[in-house]
Structures are given as structure tokens and as C-alpha cells.
Chains A and B, each alone.
Chain A
Amino acid sequence: MLQNYGETKLESDLMIEVRNLTKNFNGFRAVDHISFDVKRGEVFGLLGPNGAGKTTTIRMLATLTRPTEGTATVGNYDVVKDDDEVRKLIGLVSEKIIMYDRLTAKENLWFFGRLYGIPKEVLNERIDELLGLVQLGDWKGSQVGTFSSGMRQRMNVIRALLNMPKVLLLDEPTLGLDPQSSVEVREFVKKINREKKTTIILTTHMMVEADILCDRIGIMDHGKIAALDTSTNLKKLVSGDDTAILELEIANLTSNMIASIQSLKCVSSVSQDNSTHIKVHASGNGVFDTIIDAIRAEKGEINSVKNLEPTLEDVFLHITGHEVRDKADQKIPMRAHRRFMPRRRVR
């Protein structure tokens, strides 16, 4: 029943090609000659602080903003010249909720669905199916204005899926949501990608989100892509090889135990934080088992083990030389563009 809407011109492996894409707003360069490709069925993340140019990049791909320089194609259609073809292929989840508060859930979806020219019978079934997917079936006849922000965001996501898009563009899909709703939305995005083979580009300023969802991550800063690779490879940039940092909490920590861990071949250093915590730097395969066995041999009671492998946060710091959230608020020219108004994250 769910046939795809619109066909790509060329069945190439690349769904999105971006070449030297640039956008200026009244002299302020929001996006600065970025180039990247996204493969069919891939989840691609643009990670960076507010004002890094992620939203502008997404909007250019969504045909909503005209590039100043460079080109971008979606399914081999140019976003400027063949904008209508691109629009048929994409679904956009903007950081603002694209829903009319005074319309019911069904009326909203119906309105947008009909704009895509989806036949009435198909649309009817599809709305029910999509509402069911996000457990909002019972709320079909309620006005969206009465929904919680989690529900609204789920509506926002399924709205973008009405036309069965080949490419889903997600701009900060979990912004302002509580942790539980964030997890739900992330699970849903993963599911869409897995089941419908939808290519997904998402922007986020949350390291965890990028790590969980994305096959590849482009780290954006000041309108440029500073690094682009898989999450694992990006992390290797920081640690170099397969070094692991373990933090262990041992209830009955003794100096014998520390000595025995230190004597292990794979361990390069052990440091004691307090009476129960130690930090172990180790490398090689099976370091976890080796270390835990050594502690067990000394009758140690392990309360917790934490793998302090480098996070994307460390990667970001390493690449850009500054922390993620402490910037971008000052350098934005206020009058240049409303979308660039500094917006603080609600915690």
C-alpha cells in the first residue's frame, strides 16, 4: 500500500551531494564552502553548537533557502533548478513545530497530505498508520494546541513522513524534549531508517544523540565542516589507538590490588582517585576481562566499572579547540537573520 512517491533520476549510490555550498546573510557567512556526500540509506549527522550553520545547511537542502554559492543535489536533482522535484523527495522536520494549533491532528495531516497530492483513500489509511506508529491514534480528533511538547514533536516527525520521503531532513529533532520523549523520537528515527531505508540527515548539538543515531558525523563549526567520519573513527582522532580508560569502584580496595593490576601487561598506568575509585589506562584486546580477573583473584568486590572511552565531546574539543556550548552566542549579528537569534537550550 505504501508505494514511494516520486522516483530519483539516477539510481546512484549517493543520495545527496553537496559541493562548496555557501550562504551569506547580509555579509555574515553562515555556511562556508562545505562539501559532503550522503549515501542512500545512511544516517548522516551534522553536529555543532548553535549558530554553526547546521540549520542553514538543512534549509538549503530543503529548498527553503537559496545558496549564495556552490551546489547541492538531492536524488540528483539540483535544489535550486529542480526545487519542485527535490520537494517531492524530501520530508522536513524543522526545529519549529510545523502544525496548526487550532486544527486537529487529523486535519493537520490531511491538509499537508493533500498539498502533496496524495489521493484521499491512500491518505486516510496513511494518517491512521502514522498516528498509530507514534501512539497518537486516540488523539486524532484533538486540536494540536492541547498536546504536550513530546506529542507535538511526534506529530512534527510524522508530518514529514506523509509523502513517504526518500530523504528525511531533521533539524534538532529532540530540542526541548524531556529525556524520555527524546529517546522515543530517536527510536522512531532509527526505525524509519531501518524499515523504510530512508536516508536521513539530522542536525544536533547533542553529542549523545549524534553518537546513538548517526552512521557518519560531520562536525560543524563557524560554517565549516571541521571533521567528517564515523563516530568510532572520530574518537580515534583523540586517543590515537585502541586505548581504553576504565574507572573502577572497588568496595574493599587494597594496595595489593593496585599493585597486581599495575603488574598486568596491558595496563599502562593506574591512578587512585580516593579510597574506593581507581582509574586504569589499558590497551589491547580483552583488557576488561584481564583486569577484572586480577581484582577477583585478590577477592576484590567490584561495585562499578565505567569505560571512559573518549566521547564526541572530547573529539569536538580536540578539533575545534573550544567547548561546544560556551560560544556562538556573541558572534551572531542580531539583525542578519532571525533564525540566527541565539537560543539557549532548556535543561
Chain B
Amino acid sequence: MNIKSVISNSLRIAWKDLIELFRNRMGLVMLVLMPIFMMSMVGFIYPSDTSMSNVSVALVNEDEGYGSYPSASATLIMALENISNSTGMMTITEASSLDEVREMIQKEEVEGGIVIARNFTVSLMTGNQGTITIVTDQSNPQMSTLLQIALKEVFEQMGTWLAQQNVQGLSPAVNASNSLAIVKPYSVQTEGAVPGHFSYFDFIAPGLMAMTVMMSVMTGLPAAISHEREVGTLDGMMVAPINRLAIIVGKTLAQTARGILQGIIILALAVALFGVTIHGNILLIFALLFLGVFSFVGLGVVVTSFAKDQETAMMVMMTLMFPMMFLSGVFFPIQQMPWYMQGISKFLPLTYVSTALRKVMVLGAGVSMITTELAVLIGFGIVMTAIAVPVFRRAMTR
């Protein structure tokens, strides 16, 4: 085989495919719209760190006070209202009893409830702990968890404040800042490895980019080849005295170009709309995307070889792509998965592409820091291609 003619023929085939692609108006529009939809969908619906707003909460104050003392619950409610007003986190609705709160949750009028116990002030005044019950909606576990965390935070702050008051009351020698140090002897602060504010977007953008490029190639390649087989034009290439490898390489190049174009759109949107900052080398990012395609493409070719028509090829590809999307840590960190799922994710090339891309884009890593990922991807690619080419050759001359 002649390497030079393989390259020139595959470039011809890629060029031909791209001309076809760019003359297909509708296809081109979809090509651009897909990453835009994908990015805005993920961008606008996913919760970021301060995304909880306007959660409606029912409040039941059963506190009966303690003699002539002002009820402590009133102070608590005031503080709660202050916090929710300033952060816009909650809208508070009055309710009469725990049962009513439950009913309201069932009717979906509120998303959670707070019940201040009957003996709240009494307990505080007599040196006992006051009880506050948080009622959550179990049918929405994510919201219920968030509400729990948020309310706990509010009450802890208030508890601290109350404790500070009590400590100050114990001794006049203690001033405001001292009292805080006594009640809470330490404060925890978080600092990222790289300076700057990070959102969920910085986490998801690299993976999303990797995924879009892979998906584009993985669904595009079998579709393109089986389409040509169905309409008969593939025979035109097969009957020409060219190496079969040139057909695979050419088709892959065209699909890769298409995928990279979508990747660029995602990257541009991430930077322009969602404030993602790229810390690493942009060329390294594209090199990684290319490597990702190389590691994947063999699988696509094998599927194409076995699937008899376009429909089957697409179905097989989608079935393979779907778990890959969720298992390769694009949307959720791999470390959060159970151990057996983590095991599976180690066999998916997309895992390594998105990990490496994240390191480069978010942490500004260089080649030396992603050598493991690079080695794994190259290994994947060589093995898959070595399987794919002979399989394709055989399948095409059944």
C-alpha cells in the first residue's frame, strides 16, 4: 500500500463529504443548533451554588412564650425573614399546624415547612434546647436536601448568634468578636487550586465539548457510510483501485471536522455566555479532541461493518453512546459513583478525554500532567483501529 495515495484519496473523500454537508442547508442549521441547545439546556437548568431562589416555605409558629418574656420564636422568625429577604432564597407562608404543612406540601403549594415547637421559648429560658422541625418533600429529594442544608445553615447562624448573646451575658469581659471565637473556635474557608470563581459550568464545559465531538463522529460515521451503502454510491468508491483504508480515514476526517466545529461552538458559548475561562493551551485542547476521535472511531467502524442499514447503525450507536454519556463523568463526577460503576467508566475512552480536557481547561495543565490519559487514549485508538480495519474490509466485500 502506498501511504501517500491513501492520504490523498482520503482527503478527496473528506472534501467531497464536506461539500455535501455544507450544501445541505437544513443539516447545517441543525449542526449549529445542536450544540447551542445542548449548552443552554445544561447551562440554564442545572443548579449552580446559589441557584436556590424563591423556594416557598410554610412556617408554623406554635410557640406559646414563657410568662411575660417576649417569645424567642419572634426573634427567630424576624431573622429568618431578614435572611430570606436579603438573599431572595425563600418566600414564607404562614400555616397553622404541622398537618396543614403536610397537606400544603401534598398539594404542591409549598416545597417545605418549618415548625417551631410549642415549648420553644420555655426550653430556651429553662436551659434546654429548643426544637425546630423541618418538614421536607421526599418526592423531590434534591430540593429536600437543598432545603435542609439551607435551613440548617440559617438556624446554625442564629444559634451561634444566640450563643454569642448568652456568652456576652455571662461576663462583661467578653466582647462581640471574643464571643464568636468562644462559641465557634474555628472558621473553615475554601480556596481553589487556581484563583478565580468557578461554577458548575467550568466542570461541565470540557466534558460536554468532548462528548459532543465524540457523539458527532460516532453517530455521523456509521450514518454516512451506511447511507452511502444504501443509495449505492459506496460501490463507486469500492470499485475504484484505492485502498479501503482511505475510505475509512476520509469519512472519519469529514466527521471529525464536523464534530470539532460543534466543539468550537460549545467552547465559544461557554466562554461568552457562561463566563468559563480557559486556563490551558487551546491547541492542546484540540489535539485532545482529535485524539479522542481517534480512540473512538474504530468502534464506529466496527458497528458500521456489522449493521446492515443506516437505521440499525444509528440504533446500535445510540445504545452505546447513552451509558457513555453518564458514566464518563461528563455530568457527574466519577468519584460520586458506586465502585462498580467507577470500574466501568475506566473502560470508556470518553472518561479519559473529559478528564484530560478538564485538567487542561480548568487547571491549565500541560502535556506532562496528562500523560496517563494520553497513553490510554492512544492505546485505545491503536487497538480499536487494528480490529476495525480488517473487519471493515471483510464486511464490504461480503
A198 to chain B, nearest CB (A): 16
In the complex, what residue of chain A is closest to B235 when comparing beta carbons? A94
B278 within 8 A of A: no
**A84 and B309 in contact, given A98-B236, A102-B20, A103-B20 (Cβ under 8 angstroms):** no
**A338 and B308 in contact, given A64-B235, A97-B232, A107-B19 (Cβ under 8 angstroms):** yes
Given A62, A63, A143, which contacts B23 in the complex, CB threshold below 8 Å? A143
Q: Is the CB of A100 within 8 A of B239?
A: no
Q: Is the CB of B241 within 8 A of A84?
A: yes
Given A63, A65, A102, A117, which contacts B5 in the complex, CB threshold below 8 Å? A117
A90 within 8 A of B: yes
A46 to chain B, nearest CB (A): 18
Name A99-116 residues within 8 Å CB distance of B.
99-100, 102-103, 107, 111-112, 114-116
Q: Interface code B309-321, partner A: CB below 8 Å = 1, 0 otherwise?
A: 1000000000000
B129 to chain A, nearest CB (A): 74
In the complex, what residue of chain A is closest to B232 when comparing beta carbons? A96
A54 within 8 A of B: no
Name B238-268 residues within 8 Å CB distance of A.
238-242
In the complex, what residue of chain B is closest to A162 when comparing beta carbons? B240
In the complex, what residue of chain B is closest to A6 when comparing beta carbons? B241
The B interface, classified by DSSP as helix, strand, loop or mixed, is helix
Q: Is the CB of B12 within 8 A of A114?
A: yes
Q: Is the CB of A338 within 8 A of B240?
A: no
Q: Is the CB of A98 within 8 A of B19?
A: no
B128 within 8 A of A: no
Q: Is the CB of B238 within 8 A of A64?
A: yes
Q: Is the CB of A98 within 8 A of B235?
A: yes
Q: Which residues of A contact B242 (CB under 8 A)?
A: 115
A88 within 8 A of B: yes
In the complex, what residue of chain A is closest to B247 when comparing beta carbons? A115
Cα–Cα, bound, A170→B242 (Å): 21
Q: Interface code A12-36, partner B: CB below 8 Å = 1, 0 otherwise?
A: 0000000000000100000000000
Q: Is the CB of B239 within 8 A of A90?
A: yes
Given B230, B233, B239, B397, which contacts A99 in the complex, CB threshold below 8 Å? B233
B71 within 8 A of A: no
In the complex, what residue of chain A is closest to B1 when comparing beta carbons? A84
In the complex, what residue of chain A is closest to B5 when comparing beta carbons? A117
Given B19, B20, B241, B309, which contacts A88 in the complex, CB threshold below 8 Å? B241
Given A62, A103, A114, which contacts B239 in the complex, CB threshold below 8 Å? A62
Q: Which residues of B contact A114 (CB under 8 A)?
A: 12
Q: Which residues of B contact A116 (CB under 8 A)?
A: 240-241
Given A66, A98, A112, which contacts B398 in the complex, CB threshold below 8 Å? A66
A1 to chain B, nearest CB (A): 21
Given A65, A98, A338, which contacts B233 in the complex, CB threshold below 8 Å? A98
Given B20, B24, B241, B398, which contacts A87 in the complex, CB threshold below 8 Å? B241
Q: Is the CB of A102 within 8 A of B19?
A: yes
Given B231, B236, B309, B398, which contacts A65 in the complex, CB threshold below 8 Å? B398
In the complex, what residue of chain B is closest to A89 when comparing beta carbons? B241
Given A64, A103, A117, A338, which contacts B397 in the complex, CB threshold below 8 Å? A64
Q: Which residues of A contact B235 (CB under 8 A)?
A: 62, 64, 92, 94, 96, 98
B134 within 8 A of A: no
Q: Interface code A21-57, partner B: CB below 8 Å = 1, 0 otherwise?
A: 0000100000000000000000000000000000000
Given A63, A66, A92, A100, which contacts B20 in the complex, CB threshold below 8 Å? A100
Q: Interface code B283-327, partner A: CB below 8 Å = 1, 0 otherwise?
A: 000000000000000000000000011000000000000000000
A224 within 8 A of B: no
A335 to chain B, nearest CB (A): 9
Q: Interface code B6-23, partner A: CB below 8 Å = 1, 0 otherwise?
A: 000100100010011001
Q: Is the CB of A94 within 8 A of B398?
A: no
Q: Which residues of B contact A92 (CB under 8 A)?
A: 235-236, 239
Cα–Cα, bound, A94→B24 (Å): 25
B69 to chain A, nearest CB (A): 84
Name B38-62 residues within 8 Å CB distance of A.
none
B237 within 8 A of A: yes
Cα–Cα, bound, A95→B230 (Å): 12
Point out which of A25, A62, A100, A117 has the most chain B C-beta atoms below 10 A from its C-beta. A100
Q: Which residues of A contact B230 (CB under 8 A)?
A: 338
Q: Which residues of A contact B397 (CB under 8 A)?
A: 63-66
A159 within 8 A of B: yes
In the complex, what residue of chain A is closest to B237 when comparing beta carbons? A115
Point out which of A64, A65, A66 has the most chain B C-beta atoms below 10 A from its C-beta. A64
Q: Which residues of A contact B9 (CB under 8 A)?
A: 115
**A100 and B16 in contact, given A94-B235, A338-B308 (Cβ under 8 angstroms):** yes
Q: Interface code B333-359, partner A: CB below 8 Å = 1, 0 otherwise?
A: 000000000000000000000000000
Q: Which residues of A contact B233 (CB under 8 A)?
A: 96, 98-100
Q: Is the CB of A103 within 8 A of B240?
A: no
Q: Is the CB of A102 within 8 A of B308?
A: no
**A96 and B231 in contact, given A62-B239, A112-B236, A338-B309 (Cβ under 8 angstroms):** yes
Cα–Cα, bound, A114→B16 (Å): 12
Q: Which residues of A contact B236 (CB under 8 A)?
A: 92, 94, 98, 112, 159
In the complex, what residue of chain A is closest to B397 when comparing beta carbons? A66
In the complex, what residue of chain A is closest to B24 when comparing beta carbons? A102
Given B24, B231, B240, which contacts A112 in the complex, CB threshold below 8 Å? B240
Cα–Cα, bound, A159→B240 (Å): 11
Q: Which residues of A contact B309 (CB under 8 A)?
A: 338
**A64 and B19 in contact, given A97-B232, A115-B12 (Cβ under 8 angstroms):** no
In the complex, what residue of chain B is closest to A116 when comparing beta carbons? B240
Q: Which residues of A contact B16 (CB under 8 A)?
A: 100, 103, 107, 111
Cα–Cα, bound, A94→B236 (Å): 9
Cα–Cα, bound, A21→B26 (Å): 46
Subset of 28 A-B contacts with CB under 8 Å: A62-B235, A63-B239, A64-B238, A64-B239, A65-B398, A66-B398, A90-B239, A92-B236, A92-B239, A94-B235, A94-B236, A96-B233, A96-B235, A98-B232, A98-B233, A99-B233, A100-B233, A102-B19, A102-B20, A103-B19, A107-B19, A112-B240, A115-B9, A115-B12, A115-B237, A117-B5, A338-B230, A338-B308
**Supplied contacts A65-B397, A98-B236, 7 more A-B pairs, CB within 8 Å:** A64-B238, A84-B241, A88-B241, A103-B19, A114-B12, A338-B230, A338-B308
Chain A residues near B (Cβ < 8 Å): 25, 62-66, 84-85, 87-88, 90, 92, 94-100, 102-103, 107, 111-112, 114-117, 143, 159, 338
Chain B residues near A (Cβ < 8 Å): 5, 9, 12, 16, 19-20, 23-24, 230-233, 235-242, 308-309, 397-398
The 6 closest A-B CB pairs, nearest first, are A96-B232, A98-B236, A115-B240, A87-B241, A102-B23, A102-B20
